[in-house]
Chain A
């Protein structure tokens, strides 16, 4: 690829990404004229999308050599400390530190 082609490729990806962000707001420019079903979706989708993101953000884990074991350990640990302290930042940082310890010692990345 020449550098012009590279830049055009980046621009194509950027424009596509921007469209995904703009389309809902272009379809429904004012908050007053939103169809009922879309309104209903906007009450349930924020929760459903957090469920989606929880899976999406670890999507490759079940398919690598460790079949997601370090992720599962960190998630169960997070569930336990979240139940105990109910503090979001505590849970996030605790889970990440445990995960880092796991992948740096017991489950090293395979290259």
Chain B
């Protein structure tokens, strides 16, 4: 049911809207204040479509011209998408014309909702996944357009509203602690990432964490198979 998929996609993405719009406005205002043309924020939002990377790109644009550095930084910061792709390979693979759109719009938030929410039989899951991705895209790009128009008039204090993003992931994490199948991998993911963050700091922990995941899960699988034999 496409209509139910549409409704459910609003139910799951709605809590994110305010936070995303605010972050898009904040980012647009920041680019304005640095003197960049007003079409940059919507162009970057639609073309890069990865919030944290867009902030990093603003730094890059202020530095010296180095295309290889920009490319490598983009690849390294976003290499977590490789893991989303592997995780969501099966649900995304049989979707025909929807597949390229789903892949293009594979963000942290779309991944979190689409990989974990398994709607009931009265909901068309491919459409649900597409609607979820599209809402995130529309709200994020739309936010930069709103920012272009509204930024001189914003007077109320929304400091801290960006916490809605961690709140989404952490709430999903809490939910997983109550599911028997999810608890162990969720705790392994959190523990490894936290350890590397504390050892290496916020700039260098991503790749070591992801590599450690592969190693730890390979070892775990080896032991699980040995136990079954």
Contacts and interface: CB of A to CB of B under 8 A. Distances in A.
The answer on A and B forming one complex is yes
Contacts of A69: none
Contact of B86 (A5, A24, A91, A93): A24
Contact of B202 (A51, A59, A101): A59
Interface string A20-62: 1111110011110010011011101111111111111111101
Nearest to B210: A52
Interface string B58-75: 001100110100111111
B112 interface: yes
Nearest to B218: A37
B185 A44 contact: yes
B169 A46 contact: no
Nearest to A63: B202
Contacts of A96: 19, 160-161, 163-164, 167
Given A17-B50, A51-B186, A31 B170 contact: no
B197 A16 contact: no
Contact of B108 (A10, A53, A102): A53
7 contacts: A13-B56, A20-B79, A20-B80, A21-B104, A25-B92, A71-B163, A89-B14
A41 B71 contact: no
A73 to B, nearest CB: 11
B115 A51 contact: no
B159 A54 contact: no
Residue from A1, A46, A56 with most neighbouring chain B CB atoms (10 Å): A46
- For the residues of A in contact with B, the DSSP-based class is helix
A63 B197 CA distance: 10
B47 A10 contact: yes
Contacts of A88: 15, 171-172, 175
B8 interface: no
Contacts of A75: 170
Q: Closest 5 A-B residue pairs measured CB to CB?
A: A51-B189, A24-B85, A48-B189, A16-B74, A51-B190
Contacts of B81: 17, 20-21
Interface string A87-100: 01101110110011
A10 B171 contact: no
